[in-house]
Amino acid sequence: MTLPTINPTSTKAWKALQDHYEHIKDKHLKDLFAQSPDRADSFSIEWNDFYIDYSKNRIDQTTKKLLIDLAKEVQLDKAIQSYFGGEIINETEDRAVLHTALRLPSNQSVKVAGKNIVPEVTAVKDKIKTFCDKVISGELKGHTNKPFTDIVNIGIGGSDLGPAMITESLEYYKNHLKVHFISNVDGDHMHQNLKGLNPETTLFVVVSKTFSTQETLSNATTARTWFINQVSSEAVSKHFVAVSSNIPNVTKFGIDSSNIFPLWDWVGGRFSLWSAVGLSISLSVGYKNFEALLEGAHEMDEHFRTTSFEENIPVILGMLSIWYNNFFEAESEAIIPYSQYLHRLPAYLQQGIMESNGKSVDRNGKPVDYQTGTIIWGEPGTNSQHAFFQLIHQGTKLIPAEFIGFKHSLFEDKDHQDKLMANFFAQTEALMNGKTEDEVLEELKSKNLSEDKQKQLFPFKIFTGNKPTTTVLINKLTPKSLGALVSMYEQRIFVQGVVWNIFSYDQWGVELGKQLATRILDEINTSQLSAHDSSTKTLLKKYLN
Ligand code: F6P
């Protein structure tokens, strides 16, 4: 059983949503709250230490019902079963999609081609634990018998963004090891990082699922040369480990087979931080915290798998995103964490969401005639308030925004936390209410301004409001709550991909650029330009001369 192939626009629910949109599109959130004062109770979900308030969205009970009807009509329930059951739902790459199996308790089972994969997953987890315990305690030493002080994760895309985002998010929980991330093939970044490192106490973790990615292989080669020049080639085996599903390529590169942490083709790169790709996370915060991260993700998986759509967090969030994307024609969504620790979350989600759902061919192989993947962007609050919030408040575009905040801070500085959270609550209220003409008039009158000045300023001070937001309020930033939060987004990606009738787990769109870069690099190396358009040709000539 694979995924259903239903065109969402052909469903009854889609048509009903189109009609319903005409009826609700001009309603103001303020009026919706006035009509049903208990809206916050009706449109919220309390789950573990999460409270999701989606009442400040431009919906009513009919919208919710129709969105859920749509999810049912496209057979989301069946799709969830296929996904968790290990069916080949990544049809274009002929693979199951089982990052959820990486966080399953070891006594459970999930089969791929008739074989339970959980024992293999558990064996790799044991290997991660043993290795990390030894590096952290100093038992495992470098070539000159010194304990490791620095870890360098070399990888890109999912082999960088996930581990980097989690490591930064969990900085509070980290140990003495300094973890560095090198992803870009930009040599300046590589050399800048190497400059501050002592090869005798540095451990390189080369992460590449395919072990064929140009950036990662170049960076790993440069790191190895730098290391050999200062220590020796015999010492490489003590300072380089790899995470990959391509064992022959890793061995060819010169990393000992005992230093390889495997992963499987049913783990997509952008969903791989839960596998050995998360080795740097586990080195940074210890295996126990890594395990708690997996546990949190598993709890969210179970919530998603077993909860009715009406109360299902990823389903509700995914369907809301579809509501704005396909009916309000909103082009983008902002994700605003009110925690500096989560500053890499939007970048991480850009890959997760945009590489997954940025597709324009449906599961029948036909071009879609409706919008799919949304553009994701964001930065932490309150910084973003002083950067791009102006556009969300008073610009011409509708930008649904998700606010993520924590009830408790980690250092428990009440003064700072209260100020941070006051901003968090104020922004969603301001975006919803805006400022009416009467309110602006009153404000202007209260200031000692001439009448002419008041008239001049009047139009600029009005905020229409009615800007939708969703609030995710979590008790505290812990490895477990972070795991649940990331899984929440992963499952939301799945929901949207199923409804849009696209394949979320391939990424053919990044191939063309890679192929052309290889060809152009050849031309640069040989100074022999082949046929190009006049723009590319002139640019290349300027580079070469
Ligand atoms: O950008 C395409 C991509 O394949 C991503 O999906 C992936 O996360 C990244 O490249 C890195 O791939 P690898 O882990 O195989 O080096």
Residue 20 is a catalytic residue: no
Q: What's the token pair of residue 237?
A: 């085996």
Residue 355 is a catalytic residue: yes
- Give the distance (Å) from ligand 1 centre to CA of residue 232: 30
Q: What digits encode the pLDDT tens for the residues 26-61?
A: 999 999 999 998 999 999 999 999 999 999 999 999
pLDDT the model gives residue 329: 98
Q: Across residues 133-148, what is the average pLDDT?
A: 98
Q: What's the token pair of residue 129?
A: 């634990």
Q: Residue 504: is its pLDDT beyond 60? A: yes
Q: Residue 328: is its pLDDT beyond 90? A: yes
Cα distance between residue 393 and residue 387, in whole Å: 12
Confidence band (pLDDT; 50, 70, 90) for 273? Answer: very high
Cα distance between residue 491 and residue 100, in whole Å: 10
DSSP-assigned letters across all residues of 74-99? TTHHHHHHHHHTT---BTTTTB---G
The alpha carbon of 318 is separated from its chain's Cα centroid by a whole number of angstroms, namely: 14
Please give the model's pTM, rounded to 2 decimal places.
0.98
Cα 98 to Cα 85, 277, 430, 486, 496, distances in angstroms? 9, 15, 41, 15, 17
Cβ count within 10 A of residue 277: 28
Cβ count within 10 A of residue 188: 8
- Give the distance (Å) from ligand 1 centre to CA of residue 132: 24
Contact status, residue 298 vs residue 98, Cβ threshold 8 Å: no
- Give the distance (Å) from ligand 1 centre to CA of residue 346: 18
pLDDT the model gives residue 476: 98
Cis ω before 251 (30° cut-off from 0): no
Contact status, residue 253 vs residue 207, Cβ threshold 8 Å: no
DSSP-assigned letters across all residues of 336-365? EES-GGGTTHHHHHIIIIIIHH---B-TTS
Confidence band (pLDDT; 50, 70, 90) for 296? Answer: very high
Cα 414 to Cα 418, 421, 478, distances in angstroms? 6, 10, 18
Ligand 1 contact, 245 CB (< 6 A): no
Q: Residue 416: is its pLDDT beyond 80? A: yes
Residue 46 is a catalytic residue: no
Q: Across residues 462-468, what is the average pLDDT?
A: 97
Q: Across residues 377-399, what is the average pLDDT?
A: 98
Which atom of ligand 1 lies closest to the CA of 215? 16
Ligand 1 contact, 246 CB (< 6 A): no
* Nearest one of 21, 76, 67 to 43, comparing CA atoms: 67
Cα distance between residue 335 and residue 347, in whole Å: 10
- Give the distance (Å) from ligand 1 centre to CA of residue 269: 6
Q: Which of 355, 379, 402, 490 is catalytic?
A: 355
Ligand 1 contact, 510 CB (< 6 A): yes
pLDDT the model gives residue 1: 56
CA-nearest residue for atom 3, ligand 1, is 157
Q: Which of 22, 139, 195, 386 is catalytic?
A: 386
Q: Residue 109: is its pLDDT beyond 60? A: yes
Q: What digits encode the pLDDT tens for the residues 71-107?
A: 999 999 999 999 999 999 999 999 999 999 999 999 9
CA-nearest residue for atom 13, ligand 1, is 208
In degrees rounded to 5, what are phi and psi of residue 375?
-85, 130
Q: Residue 487: is its pLDDT beyond 60? A: yes
Top mutation candidate among 90, 92, 97, 159 for ligand 1, by most atoms within 8 Å of CB: 159
The alpha carbon of 128 is separated from its chain's Cα centroid by a whole number of angstroms, namely: 23
Q: Name the 3-class secondary structure at 358.
A: coil
